[in-house]
């Protein structure tokens, strides 16, 4: 196991690994592309340009199965912003997908709906920026 970098540690804090995520944040760098559709996917990039082209690729095609284009580009050097309304809606949408999707039922052993709701609840109540 190699040591997690500062950016990877920050990504793990913002998007902790859970049963609605196949892998913890992968790659390395300041710029994160985050796909919230179905399973949560976080990919770190060294440059903004790299992150932008990755975002354009998943926006233009799909981030994975069941994609509904809930993707964002996040600069890990900036304070985190969370909108409770949006987090709740996102959590409900992800849970609904996971409840009715056979791929997710298999990949996440049926635990994705609960994990998606737990994640959105935690994001609704914890202050933006978190414990630095």
**Sequence-distant (≥ 6) Cβ neighbours of residue 119 within 8 angstroms:** 18, 20, 40, 91
Contacts with Zn ion, residue ranges (CB under 5 A) = 35, 37-38, 63, 66-67, 101, 103-104
Tell me how far, at minimum, the Cβ of 60 lies from Zn ion, in Å: 11
Tell me how far, at minimum, the Cβ of 106 lies from Zn ion, in Å: 9
Tell me how far, at minimum, the Cβ of 130 lies from Zn ion, in Å: 24
Q: 106 vs 132, which CB is nearer to Zn ion?
A: 106
Tell me how far, at minimum, the Cβ of 58 lies from Zn ion, in Å: 6
For residue 42, CA distances in Å to 47, 100, 102 come to: 15, 23, 22
**Sequence-distant (≥ 6) Cβ neighbours of residue 68 within 8 angstroms:** 37, 93, 97
Q: 24 vs 66, which CB is nearer to Zn ion?
A: 66
Q: 42 vs 104, which CB is nearer to Zn ion?
A: 104
Two structure tokens written together for 37? 């559709």
36 vs 29: CA distance, rounded Å: 20
Two structure tokens written together for 61? 């095609």
Q: 89 vs 128, which CB is nearer to Zn ion?
A: 89
């Amino acid at each position: 196991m190699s040591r997690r970098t500062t950016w990877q540690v920050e990504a793990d804090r913002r998007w902790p690994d859970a049963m609605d995520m196949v892998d913890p944040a992968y790659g390395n760098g300041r710029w994160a592309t985050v796909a919230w559709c179905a399973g949560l996917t976080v990919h770190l990039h060294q440059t903004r340009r790299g992150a932008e082209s990755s975002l354009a690729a998943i926006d233009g095609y799909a981030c994975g199965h069941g994609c509904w284009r809930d993707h964002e580009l996040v600069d890990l050097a900036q304070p985190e912003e969370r909108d409770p309304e949006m987090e709740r809606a996102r959590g409900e949408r992800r849970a609904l997908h996971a409840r009715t999707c056979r791929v997710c039922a298999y990949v996440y052993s049926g635990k994705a709906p609960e994990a998606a709701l737990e994640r959105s609840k935690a994001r609704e109540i914890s202050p933006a920026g978190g414990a630095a």
